Structure 1
Amino acid sequence: MPYEPPPELAGLSLAQIAELVHERKLPPLDKWSPMETGDSEMRIAADGRWYHQDGEIRRPAMVRAFASLLMRDAEGQHWLVTPTQKLSIAVDDAALVAIDVRHDGDALAFRLNTDDLVIAGPEHPIRVDGDPDTPAVYIGVRHGIEARLNRSTWAQLAEIALAGDGTSVSSQGVSFPIVAS
């Protein structure tokens, strides 16, 4: 069955986005205990491009498949996990990139460079790093991995904040500061 990406966020209601998130079947990484560990010889660049042995992985389906197997441990190390192997992967910044955001009522839905959809809230917090001149804004995705908001998505989020108190946004009842201190 060929892969069909979800429609653009602007054309979806929050209920439709939530349904698409619910329908996405992801591997149960937290239930796997692989015995073999090693190095994947892979790297994710700060701009979201994936590399294997310094050659760029250009097939979106491959990136999407690898991203579904990605987790980050408490020490910050990223891993590709299968039932039999746990392979380290170098990540320059965040593993994923948020490329769009939609504000609908009390929810912020993000589209990632892997076509994943994430609704910010208690399970998917927004956090700010950096400083006021060069802030870096991230959203928690799953299994400890994060997506960094690209410039246009950050600008969209700033517009949403400016419509409110100017320094924070809220989603699913949780308020998130978006200004670095």
Structure 2
Amino acid sequence: MDKPVPSTNPTKKVTYPDDKNLMDIAQYLKDAQGSHKRSIPPLEQWQPKHCGVMDLKVLANGEWWHGGQLIKRQPMIDLFATVLWKENDKFYLKTPVEMIEVEVEDEPLFVNQVDQVEINGRIYLQLGTTTQDLIVVDAEHPIFMREYKGELRPYVHVRFGINALIQRAAFLHLVEMGELDENPAGETVLSLKSGDLDLHLST
């Protein structure tokens, strides 16, 4: 959960026979979305032919790399995040005509904002990602802990089987909102409430 530190080219430039051009896909998505506000397309309704693999990698620290180069254009990352798809434990960029496999070290989305919102008289936790997603924590979008390389890390389910890592600063904000206790096993447990959902996270 440490603050992302820029990596020194953690990817090797690999040429795939069917590698897709990143800019071509970006332009296609821009044209398809037109002037509409950011929204998640109905990916579950699309049945494109699987078109291969792209040399695109999302690191566990939140960096996106393509062709051995760090992607620094946040609007492009935001755009690709809207068409992320997960199937059989593999990640893809999915459009109506193409489904292109990409590499993801852990999860491709990252929570950096925590708020509380009132909905129908109940207080919910609302999490915001670096790619402009807003997730209201409920039974379908729970916060949970999972181990990654020997470290317990907090996540929230977002959509299509894809989760977002809750970054350190955001998680500390959640700690301030909740209550810390110790269970019989001596583990520290963070208790949170979002609407009618009670969460107990062993940290």
The interval holding the TM-score normalised by the smaller chain is: 0.7 to 0.9
User: Percent identity, aligned pairs only?
Assistant: 28
Q: 1:26-175, aligned counterparts within 5 Å?
A: 26-73=40-87, 75-104=88-117, 106-130=123-147, 134-162=151-179, 167-175=190-198
User: What is the rounded CA distance, in whole Å, between the counterparts of 2:139 and 2:95 in structure 1?
Assistant: 27
CA contact (8 A) 1:79 1:87 kept: yes
Structure 1: state its 5+ residue gaps: 1-22
2:157 and 2:167 mapped to 1: Cα distance?
14
Distance (Å, rounded) in 2 between the aligned partners of 1:42 and 1:25: 22
The CA deviation string for residues 131-172 of structure 1, in whole angstroms up to 9 with x for no partner, is 9x9420001111111110111111111122227995221213
Q: Which runs of 5+ in 2 are unaligned?
A: 1-36, 183-188
Partners of 1:122 and 1:172 within 8 A in 2: no
> Which residue in 1 is equivalent to 2:199?
176
Q: Distance in 2 between matches of 1:134 and 1:161?
A: 21
Q: Which residue of 1 aligns with 2:21?
A: none
Q: Whole-Å Cα distance in 1 between the matches of residues 158 and 167 of structure 2?
A: 15
Higher RCO (CA < 8 A, seq sep 6+) = 1
8 Å CA contact 2:147, 2:153 repeated in 1: yes
TM-score where L is the length of structure 2? 0.70
TM-score, length-scaled by structure 1: 0.78
Alpha carbon RMSD of aligned pairs, Å?
A: 2.2
1:121-140 CA-to-partner distances (Å, cap 9, x unmatched) read 12212111139x94200011
